[in-house]
Chain A
């Protein structure tokens, strides 16, 4: 049964990233944000463990129905570390196909969708996926897409997947 898991599949990661970019607002995103949101596409129930901002607490209850014993994660942080190489490769691959801007990825660690069109067949698959994962995609879009990445109330701190202690405070520009 454990022959295949989408977490360790580069191509599936590419698929997920494209799905994300097609669902969220069209703007450049920090690479770390994309990695985090991608993790939640693989394990949507883990989203209920994140610290929701006060105004969105009620949305968390919607995630309850996604629970499946066979998808439970015992150590999210460690798991995230293990899939990171695949995520990195997937992003580089997407950049190679110019589906995301390579210079932005290379120079600024940013993920930005280019104008390169997605082939039709893939587009259809993505649309289906969007329908199937409607619940989690909506939560990500509503709550976590625009949250500040760093800082004590930032996305990284709330999700507790990436090391956030040594980040520069949010007010200081990255470049």
Chain B
């Protein structure tokens, strides 16, 4: 008997209630049958098996919940290990593990046991991680943050009655196609850790490559549009040449400045200076004249206004005198104070109002004196004004001459300053301007060289990345091909074994119960969609679907005995090999086929199924575990 790993077998199962075992049976390799009437607790035992191996289970039947502990001895890859779990309706129960056989474990209630939680924490592993490692199965990340657990793989291994009959895997609430696919990939031995890692890396590198390519394209466009297309090497060469020219120019400048002739220099400078001074003087004279014009202009306007004012005053004074004189000759008719009529008196030199003696024209004399003074002032101002006006005229007339002279002198000076410049000065100027242009050219070239360097570096990086991407693509392709090959092989085997069951289905008077089972040729399994079909069809009678489903599951088990790359642990637990409506004979036939297939293989495996219609030939201790259960004698014995 050979063994393929990983393998997981149940050798003993006990269920406890308050220190007493209400169930305690041993199991063997090969076919194990739990038989009995309906509703005798067979399913409960299957539930316990699912649970103790690491499944997350809450749908306990009432009798089950009366129990407190489940203990199982399992053989993992040939090694005996004892597992214990508390029976509870709560989720995520932990598991206790003893690295040794059942008997030993029972003696050491506390020592030697390790407790592992359901889910991993930052400090501890989960029991799934532990069991996976013990089984030699890789850790598989199904999707973001979710690794596969014992529970997930048990969905394929332990077939229940509650899930709909056309589900491939045991159903559960928050399921995901990705997780199911991962289960399939893992158990069929297709999952390739390296492939997964490579795919992730390829995605990352491709994205980097895209960015880099974009950068390069942009840079090439920009550089191209400014006409820069040379390599950094070419630029370096040109910079070097330009630097040499610069050095030569600097040497020439040195020579030119040191070979100066002082004599000729000072003489021409003196001459030039004289012309400059003359021009300066003319300019000064011109601006002085202009300034004088401005001042005089203002003065004249101001004086004119002053005189006007004076003249107006004079006029007013005149008017006033006239009024006083004329009206003075009139007699007041009314009292100025109360405006009541006055009686007339006609005396001379006597105020007609108050009868005081009055000197004639005395106030007029004052007014006349004022008049005289004002007139004098006006005359003086006018003389001044005239003088200013003639002065202004003079300066204005002289202005054009001054303007001309200034212009001429400036022109002569400029002319002279140009010719004084010697040949030596000219060459020196040329050299300096050459130096300047060479320097700016060098800095320009250096900039271009830098840009070219950046471009070259980016291109190198891109090449590197492309190399990596290429290698990854090849590796991934190869891995995928291997995967596909494996998958093809796996499906082929599974198909073969499935059809073994289908073709040998019960015949009623020579005719198969389900005709399609004889006609179909291909089997498809879809983990993602959690379905299966033969020749694309999965709609049959309930019994036929159950039959088909079970055939497939047993097909998987048998395939695992043939293909060493399968990670399916060579164990199957099937609750109710038949559905309630199935013909007894059909179930018997299936049971016989199972036993026969099991005998065919010389590889260690374990089959556990329950039935309420045991094939009579198999109703013996070689195959059966526990008694034939009845309502009076159920699987769980409470006292």
Residues of A bordering B, CB below 8 Å: 1, 3-6, 9, 11-12, 14-15, 18, 68-71, 89, 92-93, 95-98, 102-103, 105-106, 119, 121-122, 125, 129, 132
Complex CA gap A97/B329 in Å reads 10
A12 touches which one: B316, B332, B333 (CB < 8 A)?
A: B316
What are the nearest 7 A-B pairs in CB distance? A6-B316, A70-B309, A12-B320, A122-B326, A96-B336, A102-B339, A11-B320
Known contacts: A102-B334, A132-B315. The answer to whether A121 contacts B309 by CB under 8 A is no
> Which residues on A sit within 8 Å (CB–CB) of B302?
69
Task: Check B332 against A5 for contact (C-beta < 8 Å).
Answer: no
Complex CA gap A172/B322 in Å reads 42
> Which residues on B sit within 8 Å (CB–CB) of A125?
318-319, 322-323
Would you call B310 an interface residue if the criterion is a C-beta within 8 Å of the partner chain's C-beta atoms?
yes
Closest chain-A Cβ to B376's Cβ sits at a distance in Å of 11
Task: Check A119 against B313 for contact (C-beta < 8 Å).
Answer: no
> Which residues on B sit within 8 Å (CB–CB) of A95?
334, 336, 339
Task: Check A14 against B323 for contact (C-beta < 8 Å).
Answer: yes
Would you call B335 an interface residue if the criterion is a C-beta within 8 Å of the partner chain's C-beta atoms?
yes
Task: Check B330 against A119 for contact (C-beta < 8 Å).
Answer: yes
Task: Check A96 against B333 for contact (C-beta < 8 Å).
Answer: yes
Complex CA gap A70/B306 in Å reads 6
> Which residues on B sit within 8 Å (CB–CB) of A4?
313, 316-317, 370, 374
Task: Check A97 against B330 for contact (C-beta < 8 Å).
Answer: yes
Which residue of chain A has the shortest Cβ distance to B363 in the bound complex?
A11
Task: Check B332 against A96 for contact (C-beta < 8 Å).
Answer: yes
Which residue of chain A has the shortest Cβ distance to B309 in the bound complex?
A70
> Which residues on A sit within 8 Å (CB–CB) of B319?
6, 12, 15, 125, 129
Would you call B26 an interface residue if the criterion is a C-beta within 8 Å of the partner chain's C-beta atoms?
no
Closest chain-B Cβ to A42's Cβ sits at a distance in Å of 9
Closest chain-B Cβ to A111's Cβ sits at a distance in Å of 13
> Which residues on B sit within 8 Å (CB–CB) of A14?
323, 327
Complex CA gap A42/B309 in Å reads 12
Would you call B114 an interface residue if the criterion is a C-beta within 8 Å of the partner chain's C-beta atoms?
no
Task: Check B333 against A121 for contact (C-beta < 8 Å).
Answer: no
Task: Check A1 against B377 for contact (C-beta < 8 Å).
Answer: yes
Known contacts: A105-B339, A125-B319. The answer to whether A98 contacts B377 by CB under 8 A is no
Known contacts: A4-B317, A98-B334. The answer to whether A15 contacts B323 by CB under 8 A is yes
Closest chain-B Cβ to A95's Cβ sits at a distance in Å of 6
> Which residues on B sit within 8 Å (CB–CB) of A15?
319-320, 322-323
Closest chain-A Cβ to B252's Cβ sits at a distance in Å of 70
Task: Check B320 against A9 for contact (C-beta < 8 Å).
Answer: yes
Known contacts: A68-B305, A96-B335. The answer to whether A6 contacts B320 by CB under 8 A is yes
> Which residues on B sit within 8 Å (CB–CB) of A103?
339
Which residue of chain B has the shortest Cβ distance to A69 in the bound complex?
B305
Residues of B bordering A, CB below 8 Å: 302, 305-306, 308-310, 312-313, 315-327, 329-330, 332-337, 339, 342, 370, 373-374, 377
Complex CA gap A11/B319 in Å reads 8
Task: Check A96 against B339 for contact (C-beta < 8 Å).
Answer: yes
> Which residues on B sit within 8 Å (CB–CB) of A68?
305, 308-309
Complex CA gap A72/B393 in Å reads 30
Complex CA gap A97/B336 in Å reads 9
Task: Check B326 against A119 for contact (C-beta < 8 Å).
Answer: yes
Which residue of chain B has the shortest Cβ distance to A16 in the bound complex?
B319
Which residue of chain B has the shortest Cβ distance to A9 in the bound complex?
B320
Which residue of chain B has the shortest Cβ distance to A42 in the bound complex?
B316
Complex CA gap A106/B322 in Å reads 27
A/B interface sample: 29 pairs, CB < 8 A: A1-B377, A4-B317, A6-B313, A9-B316, A9-B320, A11-B320, A11-B321, A11-B324, A12-B317, A12-B319, A12-B320, A15-B323, A68-B309, A69-B302, A71-B309, A71-B312, A89-B336, A95-B334, A96-B335, A97-B332, A98-B334, A106-B339, A119-B330, A121-B326, A122-B322, A122-B326, A125-B318, A125-B322, A129-B315
> Which residues on A sit within 8 Å (CB–CB) of B335?
96
Closest chain-B Cβ to A144's Cβ sits at a distance in Å of 21
Extra contacts besides A3-B374, A69-B305, A121-B322 (20): CB < 8 Å:
A3-B373, A4-B313, A4-B316, A4-B374, A6-B319, A9-B320, A12-B317, A12-B320, A14-B327, A70-B309, A71-B312, A92-B336, A97-B332, A97-B333, A98-B334, A102-B339, A103-B339, A119-B330, A125-B322, A129-B319
> Which residues on B sit within 8 Å (CB–CB) of A105?
339
Which residue of chain A has the shortest Cβ distance to B304 in the bound complex?
A68
Which residue of chain A has the shortest Cβ distance to B316 in the bound complex?
A6
Complex CA gap A11/B330 in Å reads 14
Of B310, B325, B336, the most chain A CB neighbours within 10 A belong to B336
Task: Check A119 against B334 for contact (C-beta < 8 Å).
Answer: no
> Which residues on A sit within 8 Å (CB–CB) of B310?
1
> Which residues on A sit within 8 Å (CB–CB) of B339?
92, 95-96, 102-103, 105-106
> Which residues on A sit within 8 Å (CB–CB) of B317?
4, 6, 9, 12
Complex CA gap A18/B320 in Å reads 12
Task: Check A5 against B313 for contact (C-beta < 8 Å).
Answer: yes
Complex CA gap A18/B313 in Å reads 18
Closest chain-A Cβ to B334's Cβ sits at a distance in Å of 5
Closest chain-A Cβ to B305's Cβ sits at a distance in Å of 5
Closest chain-B Cβ to A118's Cβ sits at a distance in Å of 8
Complex CA gap A146/B377 in Å reads 41
> Which residues on B sit within 8 Å (CB–CB) of A97?
327, 330, 332-334
Complex CA gap A89/B373 in Å reads 28
Complex CA gap A15/B330 in Å reads 15
Closest chain-A Cβ to B124's Cβ sits at a distance in Å of 97
Closest chain-A Cβ to B547's Cβ sits at a distance in Å of 112
Complex CA gap A119/B310 in Å reads 28
> Which residues on A sit within 8 Å (CB–CB) of B320?
6, 9, 11-12, 15
Which residue of chain B has the shortest Cβ distance to A129 in the bound complex?
B319
Complex CA gap A121/B319 in Å reads 11
> Which residues on B sit within 8 Å (CB–CB) of A93?
327, 336
Complex CA gap A50/B306 in Å reads 25
Task: Check A96 against B334 for contact (C-beta < 8 Å).
Answer: yes
Complex CA gap A53/B504 in Å reads 124
Closest chain-B Cβ to A6's Cβ sits at a distance in Å of 4
> Which residues on B sit within 8 Å (CB–CB) of A5?
313
> Which residues on B sit within 8 Å (CB–CB) of A129?
315, 319
> Which residues on B sit within 8 Å (CB–CB) of A11?
320-321, 323-324, 327
Which residue of chain A has the shortest Cβ distance to B337 in the bound complex?
A92
Closest chain-B Cβ to A50's Cβ sits at a distance in Å of 21
> Which residues on B sit within 8 Å (CB–CB) of A98?
333-334
Closest chain-A Cβ to B312's Cβ sits at a distance in Å of 8
B329 touches which one: A92, A102, A119 (CB < 8 A)?
A: A119
Complex CA gap A5/B313 in Å reads 7
> Which residues on A sit within 8 Å (CB–CB) of B315?
129, 132
Task: Check B305 against A70 for contact (C-beta < 8 Å).
Answer: yes
> Which residues on A sit within 8 Å (CB–CB) of B318?
125
Which residue of chain A has the shortest Cβ distance to B322 in the bound complex?
A125
Closest chain-A Cβ to B343's Cβ sits at a distance in Å of 14
